[in-house]
A and B are shown apart, each in its own frame.
Chain A
Amino acid sequence: MIKAENVNYIYQKGTPFERQALFDINLEIADGSLVALIGHTGSGKSTLIQLFNALVKPTSGRILVDGIDVTAQKADLRLIRRMVGLVFQYPEHQLFEETVYKDIAFGPTNMGLSEKEIDERVRKSAALVGLKEKHLERSPFDLSGGQKRRAAIAGVLAMEPKVLILDEPTAGLDPKGRDDILNTIKRLHEENSDMIIIFVSHSMEDVAKTAERVIVMNEGRIETEGSVAEVFTQAERLQRIGLNVPQITLLTDKLRNAGFNLPEEIYTVKYAAKAIAALVGGDGNA
């Protein structure tokens, strides 16, 4: 479980550039959750996720991961980084080894595991993200954009974290690459029943398709949180802070206002197709 208590964060404190990025964040994320973190650029999302694995320390307040205070002065950073895996934006930019295999092995090697254990983990996490054996011996720079990203994610997965955080995992990918990543996230969630997965996203469609819970950030504060349905039924509130609901929800809202009897919590195309089909009498195979 992740628990944040009264967390504040101030950038470059004591300089003329001082700026508060997070205000009094209180948060609880239960084991096994699949959470989407959404918010406008500069809303504090990236700062918040970096706090979770102690890359930056809060100005005040504390964060507990599985009861361990990651914000403590003498926190065991190695342990925390093993527990909380962080996949940055465009993670493929951090690939550096000669082969994909070696790159994925970088994390486990730093953890000081045995060679056998490392080998097992590399193959397991490569398979998890859908990389084939033949890819492992290639140079990471010869892979396609989507494959590179999956290799980079495998590099974090190989550390077998309890909490996996992904910062905009689908940014800059084509629709196929997007779906691959989102399906990987879903599969990870299904196969690891107590792993916490948090992903930052700008795409409400991705959030609706993948997440179970949504945390909305605005100007360094938590604006609202709840299940996907709870959050996306507050269209007006989201729009006020520069976010949106999925386009399909906007469409069905319009249809409903025009007199069609559609349910309120439609946020995926699939569900919309079913609902509309039920209304007009069809099989709903969109």
Chain B
Amino acid sequence: MLKDITIGQYIPGSSPLHKMHAPLKIILTILYITVLFFVDSPVSYAIFTVYTVALVLISGVPLKVLLRGVKPMLWIFIFTAILNVFMTPGEIIWSLPIFRFTLKITNEGLAAGVTMAVRLLYLIMGTSLLTLTTSPLQLTDGIEKLLKPLRKIKVPSHEIAMMMTIAIRFIPTLAEETDKIKKAQTARGADFETGNIIKRAKAMIPLLVPLFISAFRRADDLATAMEARCYNGGDNRTRMKESHMTALDVKAIVISILAAAVVLLAEFWT
């Protein structure tokens, strides 16, 4: 159950997407998302779809893995689609009176529902591509580099990146710990599976208290270990492996901007 957590899951590979400079990849993902929110017409959607499919193919990430990240969002999809389908005013194509309300589907609503669902799907796929092709270390490194200019206004960019690295690193550890405590309490007759919501919530206490305590203990140990090795934050800290922009990254910039331009042109000129 807990092994299915996909946050920070990284599929190692050697595709161009894997090799890209991480900060740039983050910026280009943001560009991807921004363009996605301008896309509305069928033509630009078609172009955007081609672009997305191309990215997925280049990345070499199995479609199955990509869709696994979409699965937990399924309810949000359905919910958004339904709200859009029924709530958008316009040309009515089907209606059903219930008491004082009338349930109606409009042409515009149908279009908006589909558009929103596809937009959400691409949003998740785009960001999943980023996390699936970038190791957590590279990712936080990239975020740190992007936040660096903000140091001038006292944003602790290195500390933020370090916190994220540690948080991601400890997800599997905590998942394992949860599993262990759950088993131990089950052996003492705890029941996590049956009963109503309140009973189940109460049943979580024997699980959560030890979990929190162990998380704090780990944090404490880690802090001590880091201090013992004279760790003191970002100032003047260098890296063993510096990542730099390469010709590949320049190509990626050109392609991304071109793709964005084409999509936006298609959107606003037609």
Which A residues are closer than 8 A to B by beta carbons?
Answer: 50, 53, 55, 78, 81-82, 85-86, 88, 91, 93-96, 106-107, 110-111, 141, 155-156, 159
Chain A residues near B62 (CB, 8 Å)? none
B57 at the interface (CB under 8 A from A): no
Q: In the complex the two chains form, what is the Cα distance from A93 to B180 in whole Å?
A: 10
Q: In the complex the two chains form, what is the Cα distance from A126 to B43 in whole Å?
A: 74
Which of B183, B189, B191, B209 is in CB contact (< 8 Å) with A55? B183
Task: Report if A96-B188 is in contact (Cβ < 8 Å); known contacts: A50-B183, A55-B183, A88-B183.
Answer: no
Q: Is the CB of B187 within 8 A of A110?
A: no
B185 at the interface (CB under 8 A from A): yes
A-B residue pair count with CB separations less than 8 angstroms: 55
Q: Is the CB of A155 within 8 A of B180?
A: no
Which B residues are closer than 8 A to A by beta carbons?
Answer: 180-181, 183-191, 205-206, 209-210, 213-214
Task: Report if A94-B185 is in contact (Cβ < 8 Å); known contacts: A88-B180, A141-B213.
Answer: yes
Report the minimal beta-carbon distance from B211 to chain A, rounded to whole angstroms.
9
Q: In the complex the two chains form, what is the Cα distance from A91 to B214 in whole Å?
A: 12
Of B180, B187, B205, B209, chain A has the most CB atoms within 10 Å of the CB of B187
Q: In the complex the two chains form, what is the Cα distance from A78 to B209 in whole Å?
A: 23
Closest residue of chain B to A91, judged by CB?
B184
Q: In the complex the two chains form, what is the Cα distance from A110 to B205 in whole Å?
A: 14
Q: Is the CB of A96 within 8 A of B206?
A: yes
Which of B187, B191, B206, B213 is in CB contact (< 8 Å) with A53? B187
Q: In the complex the two chains form, what is the Cα distance from A273 to B97 in whole Å?
A: 95
Which of A88, A94, A96, A111 is in CB contact (< 8 Å) with B205? A96
Q: In the complex the two chains form, what is the Cα distance from A94 to B189 in whole Å?
A: 13
Chain A residues near B205 (CB, 8 Å)? 96
Q: Is the CB of A110 within 8 A of B210?
A: no
Q: Is the CB of A82 within 8 A of B189?
A: yes
Report the minimal beta-carbon distance from A222 to chain B, rounded to whole angstroms.
23
Q: In the complex the two chains form, what is the Cα distance from A106 to B184 in whole Å?
A: 12
Task: Report if A94-B186 is in contact (Cβ < 8 Å); known contacts: A106-B206, A141-B213.
Answer: no
Task: Report if A55-B214 is in contact (Cβ < 8 Å); known contacts: A96-B205, A96-B209, A110-B191.
Answer: no
Chain B residues near A141 (CB, 8 Å)? 213
CB-defined A-B contacts under 8 Å, sample of 14: A55-B183, A55-B186, A81-B187, A88-B184, A88-B187, A93-B180, A94-B181, A94-B184, A94-B206, A96-B206, A107-B189, A110-B188, A110-B191, A159-B188
Chain B residues near A88 (CB, 8 Å)? 180, 183-184, 187
Q: Is the CB of B206 within 8 A of A55?
A: no
Closest residue of chain B to A53, judged by CB?
B187
Query: Is the contact region of chain B dominated by helix, strand, or loop, or is it mixed?
Result: helix
Report the minimal beta-carbon distance from A102 to chain B, rounded to whole angstroms.
11
Closest residue of chain A to B185, judged by CB?
A94
Q: Is the CB of B183 within 8 A of A110?
A: no
Can you list the 3 inter-chain pairs with the closest CB atoms, starting with the nearest? Answer: A110-B189, A96-B209, A86-B187
Chain A residues near B187 (CB, 8 Å)? 53, 55, 81, 85-86, 88, 156
Report the minimal beta-carbon distance from B115 to chain A, rounded to whole angstroms.
37
Which of B183, B189, B191, B210 is in CB contact (< 8 Å) with A96? B210
Q: Is the CB of A81 within 8 A of B185?
A: no
Q: Is the CB of B189 within 8 A of A93?
A: no
Of A85, A96, A159, chain B has the most CB atoms within 10 Å of the CB of A96
Chain B residues near A155 (CB, 8 Å)? 188
Which of A50, A78, A91, A95 is in CB contact (< 8 Å) with B189? A78
Q: In the complex the two chains form, what is the Cα distance from A209 to B184 in whole Å?
A: 27
Report the minimal beta-carbon distance from A94 to chain B, rounded to whole angstroms.
4
Q: Is the CB of B214 within 8 A of A93?
A: yes
Report the minimal beta-carbon distance from A13 to chain B, rounded to whole angstroms.
14
Known: A93-B214, A110-B189. 20 other contacts (CB 8 A): A50-B183, A55-B183, A78-B189, A81-B187, A81-B188, A82-B189, A88-B187, A91-B184, A93-B184, A94-B181, A94-B188, A94-B210, A96-B206, A106-B189, A106-B206, A107-B188, A107-B189, A110-B188, A111-B189, A155-B188
Chain B residues near A55 (CB, 8 Å)? 183, 186-187
Closest residue of chain A to B177, judged by CB?
A93
Chain B residues near A107 (CB, 8 Å)? 188-189
Q: In the complex the two chains form, what is the Cα distance from A55 to B181 in whole Å?
A: 12
Chain A residues near B210 (CB, 8 Å)? 93-96
Report the minimal beta-carbon distance from A58 to chain B, rounded to whole angstroms.
16
Chain B residues near A85 (CB, 8 Å)? 187
Report the minimal beta-carbon distance from A62 to chain B, rounded to whole angstroms.
20
Chain B residues near A93 (CB, 8 Å)? 180-181, 184, 210, 213-214
Task: Report if A106-B188 is in contact (Cβ < 8 Å); known contacts: A55-B183, A94-B181, A96-B205.
Answer: yes
Q: Is the CB of B190 within 8 A of A110?
A: yes
Chain B residues near A96 (CB, 8 Å)? 205-206, 209-210, 213
Of B180, B186, B189, B213, chain A has the most CB atoms within 10 Å of the CB of B189
